[in-house]
Amino acid sequence: MSDQELYPVPAAWAEAAKVNRAQYDAMYRASVTDSDAFWLEQAKRLDWMKAPTAAGDWSFDEGDFRIQWFKDGVLNVAANCLDRHLATRGDQTAIIWEPDDPAAAPKRFTYRELHAEVCRFANVLKAQGVKKGDRVTVYLPMIPEAAFAVLACARIGAIHSVVFGGFSPDALAGRIADCDSKIVITADEGRRGGRRVALKANVDEAAARAPSLEKVIVVKSTGGDITMGARDIWYHEAAAGVSADCPVEPMNAEDPLFILYTSGSTGQPKGVLHTTGGYLLWASFTHDLVFDYRPGNVFWCAADIGWVTGHTYIVYGPLANGATTLMYEGLPNWPDASRIWQVVDRHQVHTVFTAPTALRALMKDGDDFVRRTSRTSLRLLGTVGEPINPEAWRWYHDVVGEGRSPIVDTWWQTETGGALIAPLPGATDLKPGSATLPLPGVQPQLVDENGQVLEGAVSGNLCITASWPGQMRTVWNDHARFFQTYFTTYRGKYFTGDGCRRDEDGYYWITGRVDDVINVSGHRMGTAEVESALVLHPKVAEAAVVGMPHDVKGQGIYAYVTLNAGETASAELNTALKQWVRKEIGPIATPDAIQFAPGLPKTRSGKIMRRILRKIAEGDVSSLGDTSTLADPSVVDDLVTNRVS
Ligand code: 6R9
């Protein structure tokens, strides 16, 4: 049984780590028995203009619903990530930037240089009229300016909303419009895997559907040919005329820091809002604890800044802790499957933190690509984004880490701000595939469909019963939706949307989403979003989308499509519909399989029985369960016969 496969804390880690098992146990106990004292003490890791006198003030109950942390504290995130380090580590490297093209030169920025860059960027924003509380959309590739831009917003109290560079003009327009953002920061083009991404052209297209947009700041990255119009400003021109000194804006701990759009089970993506004090504390605390960060270590989170992982573990956590953080522009397997490990060698990376999907893809290409690199600097490995299958875990541990580096499998969500369930490298014995134990302050609970609390070794729906500082505070512009989405399924608890098993040692094993969210290569995708895109096509009458197992992506997208009367299914239309979704949302949403279906299995009340569609997509057609409540049970036979494998 995989549960029995145990990897004890390596002796070197047990002795030298900041937190050993006894210390973790003591911390955890203190964090739940006297939460206020624990978090006020932890808050001292940040630099406050006015120190908070109270920690959590929250209730998950309807009449009394509120989530606040350190609410009388005043601080600035950029001051914590930059200014406070200048005296002690001004000349230490803050950011190492590794370009897409391995033949191009990496860049390094010391804390002093980064401070100057951020101040300049902040002054450019100010010169464009950006003020505290304004929303700034950031649509940039993985270039250093992406870090400068978000920190510049934090410095002047503007709220950034980073949109992943792989999203389409439509998806971008929706996100600009939802938060009423007047300004977008973009680049001429992005670079990924030797190809160019037309970011500025996408912004131009989005602008037509984003009425709030007034100005576009354009960073010259590739030097590619683009059109500059009346609302466009070259960043390098604007930056040439501003000072490299910019005072920080004092922010209340509960002032917003950023919005990040994420997919849910219904409707349009939600603007997850994080605030200043609690989020930064959680980013700093978890980065320090889970990665046991030590001065001099090069820390590499190989995510994109367009996802929460990039926010918390490329920018905010590492910089708050005075770390050296590596930012990589490119793809894990370009020019070949050695690339990640070559970057590790080139920059002497200590910790690498990536997604299981990348590991599965690299594993397929064989061990040689890994073995031809040295990796002697590596001491710690991390994963995030989706459940890791034990096979990929063992490959990461044995082949990449040569058995000497623990793997921290961090479970968390955009909503949680940072890791909630994760091992500590010096404290937690590992089991491949388990995110192990809750971090201090995190109180998980498993419940059944009826909300009944389940004890002991059992499977259920994962809830968190108490607030933690890094918790999201609201859905932008829709506080009712925030409460409705997360706190009404099981009253008085935060429901994660994930299924989970707890074993006899109290270890947590996340099994995946139990709602209509699918996890494609570690990226969240709402099935409703893909369905909406499909039905926009003139030939499509109806669509239902489910996840299907995929050996590299974790889950793939399987779409059932009913065409309008008179239309005929064809291989060309199949391809065209995939292209259509790709253009509507972005490449990550491209369906892996489309099955044309004359009818979908519906109940008499018209509700699509997704359970059946999921089973067929999984190829598990022998146990479709009860189909007697269907309005027309015969549609199932057609679906089974014409299944796309
Ligand atoms: C950080 C991030 C959140 C969803 C989450 C869960 C899945 C994330 C995981 C994991 C198993 C892990 N997930 N980490 N599942 N083990 N270590 O990924 O945020 O993009 O919001 O996705 O990802 O299903 O609910 P986000």
Residue 294 is predicted with a pLDDT of 97
Q: Are the C-beta atoms of 275 and 253 separated by less than 8 Å?
A: yes
For 42, 59, 612, 615, 633, the CA distances from 36, given in Å and listed in that order, are: 10, 15, 47, 47, 57
At 645 the pLDDT is 84
Task: Compare 604 and 410 and report the one with higher pLDDT.
Answer: 410
pLDDT at 209: 95
Tokens of 582: 């790709």
Who's near 153: CB < 8 A, 6+ residues apart? 122, 125, 130, 136, 138, 159, 160, 258
The answer to whether the annotation marks 312 as part of a ligand binding site is: no
Average confidence (pLDDT) over 20-42: 98
Atom 11, ligand 1: which residue's CA is nearest? 387
Cβ distance 429 to 6 under 8 Å? yes
Kindly state the helix (H) or strand (E) to which residue 645 belongs, with its residue range: none
Give this complex's ipTM: 1.00
Q: Residue 476, annotated ligand binder?
A: no
For residue 412, report the distance from its CA to the centre of ligand 1, in Å: 5
Span 103-120, pLDDT tens digits: 999 999 999 999 999 999
- Name residue 547's amino acid: G
CB 417 within 8 A of CB 471: yes
How far is it, in rounded angstroms, from Cα 286 to Cα 397? 22
pLDDT confidence of residue 417: 98
- Find out whether 414 is annotated in a ligand binding site: yes
Determine if the pTM surpasses 0.90: yes
Mean pLDDT calculated for residue range 558-583: 96
**pLDDT, average across residues 343-367:** 96
Q: How far apart are the first and last CA of the chain?
A: 30
What is the C-alpha to C-alpha distance for residues 413 and 355, in angstroms, rounded to an integer?
13
Q: Sign of the CA dihedral 173, 178, 183, 187?
A: negative
Return the number of other C-beta atoms located less than 10 Å from residue 429's C-beta.
15
* 385 pocket-lining for ligand 1 (C-beta < 6 Å): yes
Q: Where are the beta strands (DSSP E) in 392-490?
A: 407-410, 444-447, 453-454, 458-464, 474-475
Burial of 227 (0-12, 13-18, 19+ CB in 10 A): exposed
Q: How many angstroms separate the CA atoms of 323 and 314, rounded?
A: 10
Question: What mean pLDDT, rounded, does the chain reach?
Answer: 96
Tokens representing 322?
Answer: 């005075």
Phi and psi at 162, nearest 5°, equal -85, 130
Query: Which helix (H) or strand (E) covers residue 200, if one does?
Result: helix 199-207
Amino acid at 273: L
Using CB atoms within 10 Å of the CB of residue 164, give its burial: 0 to 12 exposed, 13 to 18 middle, 19+ buried: buried
pLDDT band, residue 9 (cuts 50/70/90): very high
Two tokens at 2? 């995989």
Mutational pocket test of ligand 1: of 412, 415, 527, the residue with most ligand atoms within 8 Å of the beta carbon: 412
Q: Supply the pLDDT for residue 2.
A: 45
**285-324 pLDDT, tens per residue?**
999 999 999 999 999 999 999 999 999 999 999 999 999 9
Q: Best of 167, 498, 508 to mutate for ligand 1, by most ligand atoms within 8 A of CB?
A: 498
Contact 564, 540 (CB under 8 A): yes
* pLDDT tens digits for range 471-513: 999 999 999 999 999 999 999 999 999 999 999 999 999 998 8
Residue 521 assigned ligand-binding role: yes
Q: What are the Cα distances from residue 420, in Å, to 192, 282, 467?
A: 31, 10, 11
DSSP 400-416: ISTT-S-EEEEB--GGG
CA of 283 to the centre of ligand 1 (A): 16
State how far the Cα of 145 lies from the Cα of 186, in Å rounded to an integer. 9
Q: Which two tokens stand for residue 142?
A: 């993985």
Task: Reply yes or no on whether the pLDDT at 245 is more than 90.
Answer: yes
What is the pLDDT confidence band of residue 623, given thresholds at 50, 70 and 90?
confident
SS3 content of the chain, % helix, strand, coil (to 5): 35, 25, 40
Q: In this structure, which residue's CA is closest to atom 23 in ligand 1?
A: 385
Could you read off the pLDDT of 427-466 as tens digits, one per residue? Answer: 999 999 999 999 999 999 999 999 999 999 999 999 999 9
Phi-psi group of 292: left, alpha or beta (phi > 0 → left; psi -120 to 50 → alpha; rest → beta): left
| Contact present, 429 and 449 (Cβ < 8 Å) | no
pLDDT in the model for residue 621: 87
Band of residue 467 on the pLDDT scale cut at 50, 70, 90 = very high
pLDDT in tens, 152-179: 999 999 999 999 999 999 999 999 999 9
pLDDT attached to residue 187: 98
**Cα gap 262→415, rounded to integer Å:** 9
Rounded distance from Cα 632 to ligand 1 centre (Å): 37
Identify whether the C-beta of residue 372 lies closer than 8 Å to the C-beta of residue 340: no
- 412 known ligand binder: yes
Give distance in angstroms: CA of 386 to centre of ligand 1: 5
**CA-derived radius of gyration, the chain:** 24
Which pLDDT band, with edges at 50, 70 and 90, does 528 fall under? confident
User: 411: CA distance to ligand 1 center in Å?
Assistant: 6
Binding site membership of 80 for ligand 1 (Cβ less than 6 Å): no
